[in-house]
Structures are given as structure tokens and as C-alpha cells.
Chains A and B, each alone.
Chain A
Amino acid sequence: MIAEIGLAFLWLAGVLAGLQLIIGAIGLRTDRAEMMAGVRPIAMVQGILVGLSFWCLVAVFMQSDMSVKLVALNSHSAKPMLFKFAGTWGNHEGSMLLWVAVLGVSSGLIAAFERALKYRTHIATLAAQAAIALGFYGFLIFSSNPFERLNPVPLDGQGLNPLLQDPGLAFHPPTLYFGYVGISVAFSFAVGALIERDVGPAFARAMRPWVLGAWIFLTLGITAGSYWAYYELGWGGWWFWDPVENASLMPWLAATALLHSVAVLATRDGLRAWTVMLAVVAFSMSMVGTFLVRSGILTSVHSFAVDPTRGGFLLALLVLYIGGAMALFALRVGTVREGNQFDLMSREGALVINNLLLSVILSIVLVGTLYPLVTEAMGQKISIGAPYFNSAAGYPALLLVVIMIMGPVMRWRRDEFKAVMQRIALPLLATALMLLGLVLARPDVGILPFLGLLLAVGVGVGSFAPLWKRNLRRTPLFTYGMVIAHFGIALSLGGMASESGFIKEKLVAVNIGESNTVGPYTVKFLKIEPVAGPNWTAMEATLEARRGDGEPMILRPQARMFSNPVTPTNEAAIGTVLDGQLYLNIGEPTPDGRWQLRMWWKPYVTFIWLGGILVALGGFLSLIGRAVREKSARARKASPEPFASGDILV
């Protein structure tokens, strides 16, 4: 029964989205107030309905209702509750429903709470949102119905891929989806502004919280995904340049660029056309990402099923939205007046270079991800891996970091090179000291880790330069946000450089009682014994890691065997200390009764994810800071102008 109700809600929400689009479009065209007045309530109801529909799917998963095909295929009654819950979106149909639910709910939120936009632009934005949602409703209902029943009902489900049975799954995909959807909101704003020829600071300020919010979620999603792959796949790496990883990185790069250009538009009314273009590009990247992942067109370790029908449907949506938006851009952006001008040697100039470099990196990743498809079309098969991405994207990324030291201390409109250099004297000094230290102590690191370490120190110190000689209590929250986010980048960069430069690894076959050293640790193999979990059995090794005369650390890696379906996995044991991680993996027994043990010492590897979290935190502070500033600005404005234009009809 719940499944049918969920499907009914989905249909109703889809019909409402259609209505929202039609009356919004006609209302705008014919300038009929009574039609436009309907758009906002419809958007709110649509959001509620699609939210309820998703909740129904959660309910059938929680009850393990095996008569629902999706549950039978992807769940099992013996699964722990958390994974039944998370299993809702651990599959194609469920994850698409989550996508459209988040989209619908945020559409409802814009309808209810957005105040900064002009009324007509607001309605155009909601109509654009409805157009996006409509395609996904169609996709769900006609090609990926999550509520389909099975007859006869199977005794139990087929289980969930054991790699996905991890708390990480509960959070990773939804975070990315929140990010994708937030970008789609920014895109709708851009389309609305293009339709209404209303590209200016007000539009930028309305769009900014959504861009920031989406960017925070994408940052968290990528950070969490990277850590999840790191500890769950058991390969010890934190980034594989896999197509699916790239699919999440590309929207993040575009969103990062957009975030910085939107600041120029909101503060200085410059970069109008470019900002709109970036909003379109960011959305295109999240759609292309979804398409690449969901169509299975590229081979990936994430191995989703290849399905040409679904791929075709998604591609049609892509053509409609991206093609439509780019055509609209080409037709309309010529009529957008040029914004304010500025010198290259200025904050705007630095942000433009930031944008160009991010675009370069984005193109490198996009080309690398798609190139195998291009050559395949020409009858040649190739695989593009880390060597290409690291060497091609590494240097622009490092250059970007150099700009990051200078940009925040530059003045808007125009600045003097000498003055800027004086303001970053301290970070430059720190970099020079680090250079000296590195050359003296470690002449044997690769060039990328070497430059990475240098710049990490430079940015680490430089990120605090905007606070230099300022009244710390009167400095706005968003400035702190920027400082923390940039410091997070420095931390991440330092972690990456240190991990790739100074990693120690060892593969040994050990007997019980034997000791081996890796990095600063001596690891003693104490025992190995079978253990059992709710739906798996494993051989669990107990190892004692000791550093010098310090307290021993007990680590227990497992070689696990899941029962439904039968799949072997490795559960790494990770010992975290202040200056790095000890990563242990137990493998197969050797014929002479010893056990394979893989050990890594990864100095400061945790900084990678810690940095990611700080970046997201910086974004969050910035979001709050901007919201506070907007509110007080509105309160000041409200007195001479009693009604904001958006409020007249509600």
C-alpha cells in the first residue's frame, strides 16, 4: 500500500511541476499577474509531495517489503537498520528519487523564502526549476519506477553490495546530491535572470547562498567520498582519477569558480556574462557527471550497470537543458550590459585569473575523462590514468594556489604590485624558509610534492594575511570564512604533498610473534582468529604497533567474507596519530602458514580530509556571514520602501 501511495505522490508532484512550468511561462509571456501568483504555492506543494514520496520509499526499505522489486534487488532482511535506511539511495532508482526530492524541496524553499530577487525573475527561476524537475519526474516514472511490485513475492532480498554496507554510504551520495541540486538552483537563477535580462548584483546576491550551500555539500561529499574509498576499498589511495570521482570533481571546480566570480558580480557588478556562463557550466558538469555515472558509458571501479535506454533518456534531458541554456545564453547575453571595468592588478583581476585557472583544470579533467570515448569512436581504445591527470592538472593547481596567496590581500578595482608584495611579505618569508629547510633535509622528494609542500606553507601563512592589522572583532564573519577555507586548502595540499612525498610501505608475509617495521613503527603480529558479524565472517588479525618506547597501539584488520551475496573484502585497520596514519591490511595465508600483511605509514595524510572539512566550514561561516549582512542590509532598506516587490501578491 505504501508503495502505491508513494507512486501516487510522485505522479501528483510531477503533474504539479508541469503546471508550475506552464502557468509560469504563460504568465510571464502575457504578463498576467493571476497566473504568476499561482507559481509559488504550486512549487511549495510540489516540494511537499515529492518529499513524502521519497519518505514512502524509505518506509518500504525500512519494513523490508520484498514485494517491491527495488527492495528485493537491493536489500536483505538480515541487514542492519542503518543500511536498510541508507540502502534506499544505494541504487539507481532510489538515488534518482532522492535527486528529484531534494530538487522539489529546494524549489519549495525558494518559493517560500526568497526575497532579494525581482518578482518576475523569481517566477522565471521557479519555472526553470520546474522544467528541470519535470524531466526527472518523467525519467523516474517512465524508465526507473522505484515503486514497481514483484509477483510472486520473493522470500528474501538479494542484499546490498558489501562495499556499500558502510556508514559512509549513509552520507556520501546524499551530500553530493544536495550539492548537485544546489547547483541546479543556481542554474535556474541564471536562466531566470537571462530570460528577464536581469543580470546584476541583486541576482548575484540571491544566487550566492545557493552556490555557497551547494559548494559546501560538494566539498563535504568529495572529502567523505575520498576518505570512504581510502578506508573501505583497502587500496590505501585517496584519489584514483576514476570517472566517477571526476564526475564529482568537475562540478566542484566549476562551483568554486562560480563562487569567486559571483563575489565580483555581487560586490563590484563586474563579470556579468561570465558569471552566468559559469552557472550554466557548473550545472552542465553536474548533469554530465550524473549522466556519465548513471549511463555506465565509461568503465569505472564504481561499476554501475550499463543501460542504453536510461543513458538515452538522460542524454535527451542533457540536450534539452544544457543545449537550451547555452542557446539562451548565446541569444540573450549580448543584451546584458557590460559590467564595471577593473585593472588586472586588482582583486577582480586575481579572481579572473583564479577563474581561468579553475576552468583550465576543469577542461583537463573533462578531456581526460571523455578522451577514451573519443578515441573509441575512432576505433582506438585507450585508458587514461593518474600520470596524465597529475602532471597536467598539478601545475595549474599549484599556480592557482600562488594566486590564492595574493588575491585576498589585493584591493578592488586597482592595486600596486609593490604594495601587494609588502602585504604578503610574511608568507613569502615562510615559503623561503620552507624551501631552505626542504633543500637541506629532503633533497629526494618528487617535484610536485616538493612544490606542494612549499606552497602549502606559503598559503597556510598567507591565508591569515587578510586579518593582518585589522580589528579582529569587527572583521565580518565571511572574511573569517574565507580565511578558514583558504587555510583548509593549505592543509589539504600539505597532506597530499606529504603523503605522496614521504609515504613508507611494505608487504610482508608474517608468522605469529614476528615483528616488522614500517616508517617509525614496529608492528608485531600477535594472533589471528575468526570473528563473525551480522551478515559476514572474517579472519581478524591482532597487531601491536609501537613507536619507539611509546604506548602500543592495537590494530585489527580483517579479511571479510560477506554471506549475501558471497563477496570477499578487506577491512583495513587504521591507526591515527597526530602526524599521520598507520594503515594495515591483512591478506591471504601463504602455503607455509604465514599471513600476508600490507603496511603503510602515511605522514600527515589526515590533513587531506581535515583540510576538506575546514574548507567546508569556511564556506559555512561565509554563508552565515553573508546571510546576516543581507538581513541587516534589507532591514535598513525596508523603511523607505515598505514592500519588496516579491511580497505584493502574497
Chain B
Amino acid sequence: MKHIWLWLPLGLFVLFFAVVANGLINPADRVIMSTMIGKPAPQFSLPSAVDGLPGVGVANLRDGKPKLVNIFASWCIPCASEAPMLEQLAKQGIEIHGIAIRDRRQDLDRFLARYGNPYARIGADNDAKAQISFGSAGVPETFVVDGKGIIRYQIAGDINPSNVGDLLTALKAAK
């Protein structure tokens, strides 16, 4: 019986091989587009995630103004790198609603203190249900929602100089 155990490391390695070989052969298309585009935003209502800012719900998205819904987390590194872009967008008067995924209050406070706070509202999505109902697959993702609460556009991944133009165009079109 003892000899079977000796093959365990090799077995584990074969498992590792299967996983990475699959990863190499089907280089994951890391962008999943939401199927919710063109549809009304899902029913959701999230409690406030940080002190001083209200939470987010679907009702807040139907007030007639187009806005951005940014799905992010304090533990996510690309979210930190897109923070300056969001801050500039907020400075141009664009309303940004944040949905914080599986986060903690003190971590969020720290994140906002460190990278700036462009958000008008931040909802705490502790089980990522709201995120999934938006059709979002990861953090960060940003959605353009028009004044009637219909999802118009999505950026999967961070906002950066190469895609911010499209984002602004989509925002303009959503008016």
C-alpha cells in the first residue's frame, strides 16, 4: 500500500499539467460581455458600504440622468490603476455609482483614502449577487446606464486611455 502513496506527487503534478495545458490551449478570452446590454438594470438594492455615502439600488438609476455603475473592490489591483480615470470622469460631472464586491468597511475606507473617491454612492455587494445580475464577470467592470435605467454599454476590465473615448461616446448617446 505504501507504494501507491509514492505516486501521489506525480498524480498531483498530472493534475497541475491538465489545468495549465488547458489554460494554454484555450487561452482564456478574458473578456466576457454582459448579456444585459440594452435591457433594464436588474432589481437590486445594496446597503451603504462606507460611512458618509448612501447605498445603491435600481431606483437610483432611473432618475433621468445617465450614469456609470462601477463594479470594484479594494482588494483588486486593476481597480487601483483605473482610479485616476474614474476621478477625472467624476470631475467632469459624471455621476458614478460604485458596487463594492466582497469587501470590508475598513479596507474600503483605506482604498478610497489611498486612491481617491469618485463615487456618489457605494453599495456593499457582499455575496456578489448584484454583480452577477448585471452580467459582470469580474472586477473592475463599468456599465453605462441611461436615465431610464437601461444598461447601454460595458467596459470589462479597467478604464484606461484607450477605451475611455468609447465610454464617453456611450455616455453621450445615453442622454
Interface residues of A (CB under 8 A from B): 235-236, 240, 242, 277, 280-281, 284, 288, 291, 295, 297, 299, 301, 306, 308, 311-312, 315, 318-319, 322-323, 326-327, 329-330, 333-334, 370, 373-374, 376-377, 381-383, 385-387, 505-507, 587-588, 591, 596, 598
Q: Are B116 and A383 interface neighbours, CB within 8 A?
A: no
Kindly list the 9 A-B residue pairs having the minimum CB-CB distance in the complex, ordered from nearest.
A385-B75, A326-B10, A330-B6, A330-B7, A326-B9, A377-B22, A373-B23, A311-B24, A381-B137
Of all chain A residues, which has the CB nearest B84?
A: A588
User: Does the CB pair B75–A387 fall under 8 Å?
Assistant: yes
User: Which residues of chain B from 16 to 42 have a CB within 8 Å of any chain A CB?
Assistant: 16-17, 19-28, 30, 32
Quick check: A334 and B6 within 8 Å, CB to CB?
A: yes
Scan residues 69-107 of chain B and give those whose CB is less than 8 A from a CB of chain A. 73, 75-77, 80, 84, 91, 102, 104
Residues of B with C-beta under 8 A to A329: 6, 9-10
Q: Determine how close the nearest CB of chain A comes to the CB of B169; give it in whole angstroms.
A: 23
Q: Give chain A residues whose Cβ lies under 8 Å from the Cβ of B32.
A: 381
If A370-B19, A377-B22 touch, does A505 touch B113 (CB 8 Å cutoff)?
yes
B144 adjacent to chain A (CB < 8 Å): no
Write out the residue numbers on chain A whose beta carbons fall within 8 Å of the beta carbon of B80: 235
B122 at the interface (CB under 8 A from A): no
Which residues of A are found within 8 Å of B9, using beta-carbon distances? 277, 280-281, 326, 329-330
- Check A306 against B27 for contact (C-beta < 8 Å): yes
Query: In the complex, what distance in Å separates the CA atom of A419 from the CA atom of B7?
Result: 40
User: Are A297 and B137 within 8 A (Cβ)?
Assistant: no
List 30 A-B residue pairs with CB atoms under 8 Å apart, sorted by A's residue number: A235-B80, A236-B114, A242-B77, A281-B9, A284-B13, A288-B16, A291-B20, A295-B20, A295-B24, A311-B24, A315-B17, A322-B13, A323-B17, A326-B9, A329-B6, A329-B9, A329-B10, A330-B3, A330-B6, A333-B6, A334-B6, A374-B19, A376-B28, A377-B22, A385-B77, A387-B75, A505-B114, A506-B113, A507-B116, A591-B91
Point out which of A322, A327, A383, A598 has the most chain B C-beta atoms below 10 A from its C-beta. Answer: A383
Separation in Å of the B72 CB from the closest CB of chain A? 11
Interface size on B, residues (CB 8 A): 38
User: Do B10 and A505 touch (CB < 8 A)?
Assistant: no
CA A425 to CA B104, docked complex, whole Å: 39
User: Which one of A373, A382, A506 lies within 8 Å of B19 (CB-CB)?
Assistant: A373
Name the residue among B16, B17, B23, B91 with the largest chain A CB count within 10 angstroms: B23
A319 and B17 in contact (CB under 8 A), knowing A306-B27, A329-B9, A381-B138?
yes
8 Å CB contacts to A: which residues of B106-142? 110, 113-114, 116, 137-139
In the complex, A333 Cα to B5 Cα: how many Å? 11
Q: Point out the residues of chain B lying under 8 angstroms from A333, CB to CB.
A: 6
Closest chain B CB from A508 CB (angstroms): 10
Specify which chain A residues have a CB less than 8 angstroms from the CB of B6 in the assembled complex.
329-330, 333-334
- Which residue on chain A has the smallest CB distance to residue B103? A387
Instruction: List 7 additional contacts besides A297-B23, A315-B21; criterion CB under 8 Å.
Output: A236-B114, A299-B30, A326-B10, A370-B20, A381-B28, A385-B77, A587-B84
